[in-house]
Amino acid sequence: QAQFVESGGALVQFGGSLRLSCTASTAIFRSIFMTYGMGWYRQPPGKQRELVASITGDGSTNYVDSAKGRFTISREDAKRTVWLQMNDLKPDDTAVYYCNRLRAPYTWGQGTQVTVSS
């Protein structure tokens, strides 16, 4: 079963902003969650899932080139939550966004739909 729940997706205008949240289930204790490298992924229709941003347990981050300067990934271990702040959104950002553990990911959840209108 999925161990993370994504939320925050919406229909937004070109250039708009959204903040997505990813919250771990209660089955994942804080002491365990804080050791996970976590990633935000997206999957546009008809395309393969793509890693957009990642964050290690110690807070180091990486981004796909198209997201650099626009997206920021962060984590709050006390809340067992990973955030994705998305600014200056473009139609190409339209996708279902998922979060998961980087290594040995859990079952994928439902994701959250982000739609950017032109």
Confidence of residue 1 (pLDDT cuts 50, 70, 90): confident
HSE of 41, CA atoms in CB hemisphere, 13 A: 19
On whether the CB atoms of residues 67 and 55 are closer than 8 A, the answer is no
Confidence of residue 69 (pLDDT cuts 50, 70, 90): very high
The angle subtended at Cα 112 by Cα 91 and Cα 51, nearest 5°, is 70
3-state helix, strand, coil in the chain (%, to 5): 10, 45, 45
Cα–Cα distance, 18 to 11 (Å, whole number): 9
Confidence of residue 2 (pLDDT cuts 50, 70, 90): confident
Buried b (16+ CB within 10 A) or exposed e, 1-36: eebbbbebbeebeeebebebbbbbeeebeeeebeeb
